[in-house]
Structure 1
Amino acid sequence: METTSERIERRINELWDRLRERGAPDFRDRDDRTLRSFSLGEVAEILGVSGSYLRQLSIDGLGPTPGLGTAGRRSYTLRQINELRAYLASARPKEALKFCPRRREGEKLQIISVASGSASTTTSYYLAQGLALQGYRVLAIDLDPKGSLSKMFGYYFPDIGCPDHPTTMYGALRYDDDRVSMSSVIRPTHFDGLDLVPGTFELEIFERESTKRFDNEDLRHPDASIRMVDALKEVEQGYDVVVIHCGRGGFLTAGAYEAATGVLVTVRPQWPEIKSMGLSLYRFSHLVSLIEKAGRSVNYDFTKYLVTGHDPRDVSQQEAVALLRDWLGDDLLTATVWESDAIRQAWMKNRSLYELSAGEVGRSAYEQAMETLNSTNAEVMDLIAEVWGRPPMYVSRASRTAGKASS
């Protein structure tokens, strides 16, 4: 006779077999993923130069040596793209910021907390990868105990974690003598220049411990949240931008909001979703007020709202977006992320569109989705440039790229 646990396991196996038939990866497989190479045309678009210029550099033996495919087509890995950045910044010093946007001395680390909400995981994923593709040194932090962002990067943790060998922010935040350095919980990803602090059920240990101290030792949210600030200071010299994917935990989320220099709030243009976002803003306000009452000011460089899952042909969604623009004004990003079959297909493959080629999801849908994603990321990168006192350039570049795609 089949036991209950055996029956459940059989159902799980059947489910994964069927999903694999449709191209979805199986978490039971070891996910040693690598990032694809980028065509010469893609690299030219990323760097903002012409393909003929890159081709001539290759012919002259300048910069990294690209791979050669069929018909002599050149391609570059992301590491080689970053090597190209360093070469171009040296060869064309007047355009050094364009090619190598890493922060300079005196420019502060940008910490962007993506509030928990509609498509917040996907937004964090594409923002972190998009920044890395543009040459920023990025640290992504997953504060979701379910590890939703970590799974998208290929990190699977079927167990609840081990307090003696922490793998999440819990290790760098815990209250006892076993607290570890921030650098020890950081893991590399398959994107050059992009690291990750994974999220697992281990994070719930921190929430439970904080709650216990809150009840018994007069601990308050700010007493726990300042630990996040201190942990990030340990590694701030190694990164330009930190993207924090907030979970539902109160103490961890308070830490994300205190550490942040900017906050990104996502919302779908549907009336129930807008109402839900409005309610979540009360929680945002409450956590920030607790930090302020503790005598620590909270001054963000920006708080922006992003419309995701947008169908511009839907009349009710048009009305919802109009309401959001009237209500939020310039705080609402101009670009919206459209509802896209290409993004859904990439998600089914446990990949982002940056990791796939157009042929894997359909060229038209791919280009349209990439246009909305790149436009969103461009606005965020221009916000960062403004904070650092630099002229904006990414939105205008994204607009030119969109025009080429449309034509």
Structure 2
Amino acid sequence: MHPVLHDKLKADAERLSEALEHMSKLFLAPKEEKTLRSFTTSEVAELLRVSDGYLRKAHFDGKLPDVFQGPGNKRLYTGEDILNIRQILSQTAKDPFQFMPGRKAGDKLQIWSTVNFKGGSSKTTTTVTLGMRLALRGYRVLLIDADPQASLTTFFGYQPEIDFREGGTLYDAIRYNEGDTTRVPLTDVLRTTYFPNLDLVPGGIMLSEFETETPTALSRGEQPVFFNRIREPLRQVEDDYDIVLIDCPPQLGYLTMSAVCASTSLLMTIIPERVDLASASQFLTMASGILEVLDSNGGVGSYDNFAYLLTRFDTAISTQQDLSEWIRQLLGDSVIPTPFVKSSAVSEAGLAQKTIFEVELGGSKNRKTYDRALESVIGFSNDIEKMIQAAWNRGGTDEA
């Protein structure tokens, strides 16, 4: 005799939750213990857009404080060291924004949402990787996990189904009023991370409630309406960040539309394969119709960019290369020049809840594979950084 379905599902969920908690203790560093690795002189020079020699001379001349020296007296920099050096060098630089490239007076907060109609397009990996890169480049970055699956949140050492079982996610800041329970300020759910210059608003399964509650809230005229539910909380922290990156769920629901309406730019990830292109076409067709309605109701403003990023791009597959060229011819400058290549280095890092920037380099690593993946990530991140700077009516920063 089969058990009642809801009883079976509840029992399976409890077993799985307990197993995940046990696995977390065995394999995953707890959030309070997860730390960022140190960076070499050459890595820091690339982040600062200076030469290795410039950095070494600045240390020799006493312009920069000493940092930890590892084997062979090689300097190793923490994330805090890099931020401190940025601030010091900006004080005497001809162009302070080379070292502190974030917003200045009059620059609007840049809010980018990463969207796609289906899972598996590296949407979350793209968002968290881009966020970490921009933080290392000196920008104040806020990551918002708007996906009930909360994959982005797990990159920071959290187990959402355990750590946020009682709340503490984006849902609490955008939820509708119900009895004595009301939404909280975004600052109540915002968390600093082990990654300097990078904060997080976690996601969690309760975000799925927003999808089911919105129709009822619309029928009773509750304000603000759904498309302002992310935009309004962001105003509370607008002065604290240069860039906000929102990881949207892989669907065109109320959460995605709320994120889109809050955004100044959109980033759509596309795998150069026929099935994914068909899905992208469907997403754009549906989105255009819905956004037209929202625009007429004040939900959507003007956008700085709607950009496409080719992801999971396998250079060894000729059909992907052909399709990528076809996409570039079709969509033109909207396609970001550098693709996010498919790489075992990125996949292996993801299994350990890390991005390519967090991987400790050792002799056992396939350095060529790592370097190739890193070149791709730095490339598309730099492309997007230029778009952000252009939105502020600034050019790129030059090397010292």
Q: What's the offset of the Cα at 1:56?
A: 2.7
SS of equivalent residue, structure 1 residue 64: coil
Whether contact under 8 Å (1:63, 1:83) holds in the other structure is: no
Using structure 1 for the length normalisation, give the TM-score. Answer: 0.87
Query: Structure 1 residues 26 and 49 mapped into 2: Cα distance closer, same or farther (>3 Å)?
Result: same
Whether contact under 8 Å (2:144, 2:245) holds in the other structure is: yes
Determine if the alignment matches structure 1 residue 140 to structure 2 residue 143: yes
Structure 1 CA distance for aligned equivalents of residues 114 and 16 of structure 2:
37
Residue pairs, 1:314-333, within 5 angstroms: 314-333=317-336
Residue number in structure 2 paired with 1:203: 207
Query: Structure 1 residues 30 and 230 mapped into 2: Cα distance closer, same or farther (>3 Å)?
Result: closer
Using structure 2 for the length normalisation, give the TM-score. Answer: 0.88
Q: One-letter code of the match for 1:190?
A: Y
The C-alpha deviation readout for 1:370-389, integer Å capped at 9, x for no partner, is: 11111100010000111111
Determine if the alignment matches structure 1 residue 108 to structure 2 residue 111: no
Q: Which runs of 5+ in 1 are unaligned?
A: 398-407
Give the structure with the higher percent helix: 1
Determine if the alignment matches structure 1 residue 95 to structure 2 residue 98: no
Determine if the alignment matches structure 1 residue 121 to structure 2 residue 130: no
Residue number in structure 2 paired with 1:389: 393
Structure 1 CA distance for aligned equivalents of residues 143 and 222 of structure 2:
28
Q: What's the offset of the Cα at 1:32?
A: 2.2
Query: Structure 1 residues 25 and 267 mapped into 2: Cα distance closer, same or farther (>3 Å)?
Result: farther
Q: What's the offset of the Cα at 1:9?
A: 4.1
SS of equivalent residue, structure 2 residue 135: helix
Query: Structure 1 residues 8 and 179 mapped into 2: Cα distance closer, same or farther (>3 Å)?
Result: closer
Residue number in structure 1 paired with 2:287: 284
SS of equivalent residue, structure 1 residue 333: coil
Q: What's the offset of the Cα at 1:8?
A: 8.9
Residue pairs, 1:364-375, within 5 angstroms: 364-375=368-379
Whether contact under 8 Å (1:89, 1:100) holds in the other structure is: yes
Residue number in structure 2 paired with 1:191: 195
Structure 1 CA distance for aligned equivalents of residues 30 and 79 of structure 2:
25
Moved more, 177-186 or 3-12: 3-12
Query: Structure 1 residues 343 and 31 mapped into 2: Cα distance closer, same or farther (>3 Å)?
Result: farther
Query: Structure 1 residues 231 and 121 mapped into 2: Cα distance closer, same or farther (>3 Å)?
Result: same
Q: One-letter code of the match for 1:104?
A: K
Moved more, 36-45 or 54-63: 54-63
Structure 2 CA distance for aligned equivalents of residues 69 and 161 of structure 1:
38
Structure 2 CA distance for aligned equivalents of residues 203 and 348 of structure 1:
24
Q: One-letter code of the match for 1:71?
A: G
Residue pairs, 1:166-181, within 5 angstroms: 166-176=167-177, 178-181=182-185
**Share of identical aligned residues, percent?**
33
Query: Structure 1 residues 121 and 353 mapped into 2: Cα distance closer, same or farther (>3 Å)?
Result: same
Q: What's the offset of the Cα at 1:277?
A: 1.1
Query: Structure 1 residues 373 and 28 mapped into 2: Cα distance closer, same or farther (>3 Å)?
Result: closer
Moved more, 286-295 or 253-262: 286-295
Q: What's the offset of the Cα at 1:357?
A: 3.0
Residue pairs, 1:226-375, within 5 angstroms: 226-247=228-249, 248=251, 250-359=253-362, 361-375=365-379
Q: Which runs of 5+ in 2 are unaligned?
A: none
Q: RMSD of aligned C-alpha atoms?
A: 2.8
SS of equivalent residue, structure 2 residue 76: strand
Structure 1 CA distance for aligned equivalents of residues 285 and 123 of structure 2:
18
